[in-house]
Amino acid sequence: MTTEKPEEAMTFGELLALIAEQQRRLTVLENAFASLTFCLDDRASQLLVHNLSLEAQNQNHDAQLQQHFTRLAEEIQKRNGQSPTEPHA
């Protein structure tokens, strides 16, 4: 199946290949985003972590997405040598 003809059926192998390709693309984006945080000053980095932490508490997101926001905030803190913040109740 190609993206030009989305109405065609996809084989299981094609689906697995598509998933693998999307995972690789996501990994690149995650690494690029995390690397960009080195360009931020301390205040901007703190604001980014704060905003990600707020998204982690957003009840409009499912639990898995909230956990991903939490992990990203923690990863940015770790890369910037900050101690993790406690989640707000």
Residue 63 placed within a domain: yes
| HSE toward the beta carbon, residue 81, CA cutoff 13 A | 4
3-state secondary structure at position 75? helix
Q: Do 56 and 76 meet the contact criterion of CB atoms below 8 Å apart?
A: no
Q: Quick check: is 84 in a domain?
A: no
40 domain residue, yes or no: yes
What total of structural domains would you count in the chain?
1
Domain for residue 4, yes or no? no
Query: For the whole prediction, is pTM greater than 0.75?
Result: no
Q: Does 50 fall in a domain? A: yes
The residue with greater pLDDT, 73 or 4, is 73
Residue 89: the pLDDT is 39
Task: Tell me whether residue 5 is in a domain.
Answer: no
Q: Which residue has the higher pLDDT, 3 or 32?
A: 32
Q: What is the pLDDT of residue 76?
A: 87
The mean pLDDT of 5-21, rounded to a whole number, is: 89
pLDDT of residue 46: 92
Q: Give the range of the structural domain holding residue 38, as residue numbers without chain letter.
A: 12-79
pLDDT at 26 (0 to 100): 94
